[in-house]
Amino acid sequence: MNHATEDIRKGLNEGLNELEQMADEIRVKLHLAGMDAKDAWNKLEPRLDEARRHAAAGSRKAFDDILTSFRDFRKTL
């Protein structure tokens, strides 16, 4: 194998190692992000019943606040 071919292989192997490391980091970050999203949802979901009560009582401001919270959360997904 000539020197140029060896350099190409070495560069490719280094690049592949970097890609594999990045993939591992991304997997961890996605897992943690998923856990964060679940935590946020668990705090937000009970507010749905609260919104139903406000809607039934005609409490527009309180309802709109909850609606905004749901919309904001959806944007983060």
pLDDT digits (tens, 9 = 90+) for 24-42: 999 999 999 999 999 999 9
Q: Are 70 and 44 in contact (CB under 8 A)?
A: yes
Query: Per-residue pLDDT averaged across 50-69, rounded?
Result: 92
- Say how many domains are in the chain: 2
Query: Per-residue pLDDT averaged across 58-73, rounded?
Result: 93
Q: Are residues 77 and 50 located together in one domain of the fold?
A: yes
| Residue-level pLDDT at 77 | 86
Task: Give me 54's structure tokens.
Answer: 């406000």
Domain hosting residue 76, numbered range: 45-77
Q: Are residues 49 and 28 located together in one domain of the fold?
A: no
| Residue-level pLDDT at 19 | 92
Long-range pairs, 10-14, Cβ under 8 A, ≥24: none
Residues 6+ apart with CB under 8 A from 60: 54
Confidence of residue 4 (pLDDT cuts 50, 70, 90): confident
Q: Is residue 15 part of a domain?
A: yes
Q: What is d(CA 63, CA 7) in angstroms, rounded to the nearest whole number?
A: 64
| pTM listed for this prediction | 0.67
